Amino acid sequence: MQRPLAVWIVSPVLALCGVAGSAVIGPALLDAEDSAVLVLGLAALLCAAQVAAAAALFLGVRWGRSGSAALCALAIVLGWLAALTGHLSGAAAFLSLVVNLTLLFALLGRQVYDWTGGERPRPVYGYYTRLDGGGEPDEDATDEA
């Protein structure tokens, strides 16, 4: 299967967001007071997770799609909270919201879903289970769950 266009777009944008965030957080973490170190450390972990999820999505790993979607949803919530508390300007909050909603919308598409494995049947007691309860016998399956 050929890598979909959505993956070619979403993966680099998500990785760029993680790298850009790290570039901003790195110097701030070095000069931070004790009270801000925990928050900046968590933000640095979020940036690293964005880069890892982008790489996994690009490679077609199953958790790459769900991890990227979860990180986009978390970025939306955190951006909204930062805007409400006055730690993020209106323009920056709007940009964050637009970028992450667009990425989330693309991640929920069928092409990305299929690229990361889609609905893989699992062998259970010698049969592949389906949503309708039917199944086809599997010669290679064992009786172990």
Q: What are phi and psi of 63, to 5 degrees?
A: -80, -5
Query: With bands split at pLDDT 50, 70 and 90, how would you rate the model's confidence at 87?
Result: confident
Q: What pLDDT, on the 0 to 100 scale, is given for residue 85?
A: 83
Number of domains in the chain: 1
Query: With bands split at pLDDT 50, 70 and 90, how would you rate the model's confidence at 102?
Result: very high
On whether residue 102 sits in a domain, the answer given is: yes
On whether residue 87 sits in a domain, the answer given is: yes
On whether residue 44 sits in a domain, the answer given is: yes
On whether residue 133 sits in a domain, the answer given is: no
On whether residue 135 sits in a domain, the answer given is: no
Across the chain, what does the average pLDDT equal? 81
Q: How far is CA 107 from CA 28, 50, 58, 121, in A?
A: 31, 14, 12, 21
The CA distance from 69 to 89, in Å, is 24
pTM value is 0.73
Please give the share of the chain, as a percent, with pLDDT higher than 90: 30
On whether residue 100 sits in a domain, the answer given is: yes
User: Which DSSP letter does residue 2 get?
Assistant: P
On whether residue 134 sits in a domain, the answer given is: no
Residue-range definition of the domain harbouring residue 51: 5-120
On whether residue 138 sits in a domain, the answer given is: no
Query: With bands split at pLDDT 50, 70 and 90, how would you rate the model's confidence at 52?
Result: very high
